[in-house]
Structure formats: C-alpha cells, structure tokens
Amino acid sequence: MEFRHLGRSGLMVSEISYGNWITHGSQVEEDAAFACVRAALDAGITTFDTADVYAGTRAEDVLGRALQSERREGLEIFTKVYWPTGPGRNDRGLSRKHIMESINGSLRRLRTDYVDLYQAHRYDNSTPLEETMEAFADVVHSGKAHYIGVSEWTAAQLRAAHPLARELHIPLVSNQPQYSMLWRVIEAEVVPASEELGIGQIVWSPLGQGVLSGKYLPGQPPPAGSRATDEKSGASFISRFMRDDVLTRVQQLKPLAEQAGLSMAQLAVAWVLQNPNVSSAIIGASRPEQVQDNVKAAGVKLDAELLKAIDEIIEPITERDPAKTESPAQRP
C-alpha cells in the first residue's frame, strides 16, 4: 500500500481507502462485511470511510465492531453528517443542533472517542455557513474530530468555507466527490480551487458503480445479483451508466488493461490515482476478493500513451459538466 497526504495537511491516508456505502448493514451480511474489512486491513488499507446515513446508521455500527480490536492510532476513520437520520425536522442538514447530536451518535456507533475526519455530506443551503463552520470548530476543539472535510461541494462553496475555517483555526482538508473515467465534473473548477486552497480529494465510485469493471455487456441483461439488479445497492444510481454506448466503449478498454497487466477494475482505480489532487480512492466490496483485486492498483503509474488511449476511447461518453457537482440525486 502507498500513502499520501490528505490535502496539504500532515495526515497520511492510504492511497486506497475502504468505504461501506450500500454494503454494510444492508446489501452485505455481517460476516461478509467483517471479512471485507479484514481483507482491507490485510492489504494495508488504514483509511475507512462511512456516514451516519448509510443503511440508516447501521453501517457505522458494523464498521465500528469490525475495527474495534484494531489499534486505533493506526487507523484513519472518516464519517459524515447531513442526510436525514431520523423523522424530525432537525434530524438532517448542517445546523449546530444536528451536527452536535450527530457526532455523538457516530462516535457511539463507531466505538471510538474521535474520528480523524468529519465531513459535511452535502452543502446545506438552509443553514448559514458561519453556523455550520462554528459547529465544526467546536467538534474539532472538543477533540471529537481531528480534521474537517466536505463532500460534493462546488468550487465556490469551498472558497467560501476556507477563510471561515482559517479564522476558526480548524483544518478544512478534503472534499469527497464522485470521480472516474466516466465522471470528470470536478476537473474544470473543483480541482483547481482545491489545489489553491490545500484541499485533497477523497474520491468515491472510481469504478463508475462497477461499470468500469467490464462486467456489464452491451445488449445483455446485467448479471444476476449485480448492483444493477439490486434496488438496495444503487440500481437507480447506476442507471446513468447502463447505456449501450457507454458499455460498448468500456469494453474497448479491455485490451488497454491487459497491455498494462491490470484487471479492468485495477485500471479504473489506478486512473483516478494519477490525478495529483486525489489523496485517496474509496473502494467498496461485497466480497474479500474484490478488495484483494482493487488494492493492486496502489502505486501503479500509467504512462502518457496509455492515458491518451483511454481518453480517446472514453471521451465521447465522459461527463464533464461542473454544474453536476452537487446533483441532489447523488447520495454516497
């Protein structure tokens, strides 16, 4: 495993991190979830990402129990706040009330005294940014989180939050966007702003919801039991990529992966790691073998000719519109 700084902070994170959106507590049985976490640890992954909303808070609980026998100082545990976690009007968003109550719930479920990174899962247009950042400052200054991050924020939102974080003496070090060969909306605005501000990307869905693994074939139904057939595991979300024009071009990547000595999944993960603003790529898994395959992308360097060949194949189906950075349909 290789390690990178999270933005311009001193925190080192594993180049590949393990996330449990739509797996732990819902799609994957507990024994399988524990086995996947064990596989991640055995592969050298030290960075684990979750959120209070995943599986209705159950994902945090599963991850906490899976990691409770590990040396806490040797792990980087990340979680998030924003999406509804209860029926009340204040059980959502980035108000001071919800943040302060949510961090306590997350710590209880994760069985830890602190998280290394506490992230705003989306931008909250209904709460003053100053209120949100002041609440985050109290979380950090009380020792319940070491660093602050965000997820799917626009360049303008990052620029607005950064000076507030500086004034409040809290380290705003990361953004967690969707990023893959198929989804490059952060490149035009978010990445340049992040490089200027010292913010690193912790990217989710580097496999394009599994499409870039090559297992979905044009003109054929999805394999039984795959994510595209399971409403609990994001079938509605993956649908944007389940078009024949996309699947046809993805299949054309196979010779390039073979040329590089990589599986299709490894090529996809390695591709996002070529971006120097990416601190870590999040992988998820329902089986330990998926973890063992994906982690082989760590440390891989793709040469310029290969990257150019990938672009030539993928460009016609690549989404680059920066306006899609904060799509309300996104919920990782």
Label the pairing between strands 200-203 and 172-175.
parallel
At residue 66, φ and ψ (nearest 5 deg) are: -70, -25
258: its two tokens: 């073979």
Report which DSSP code applies to 219.
T
DSSP-based three-state secondary structure for 314: helix
CA 254 – CA 304 distance, rounded (Å): 18
Q: Catalytic: which of 54, 118, 147, 216?
A: 54
Residue 248: other Cβ atoms inside 10 A: 14
Asked if 87 and 39 touch (Cβ cutoff 8 Å), the reply is no
| Whether 147 is catalytic | no
- Count of alpha carbons within 13 angstroms of residue 77, beta-carbon side: 30
87: its two tokens: 């029926």
Which residues are tagged catalytic? 54
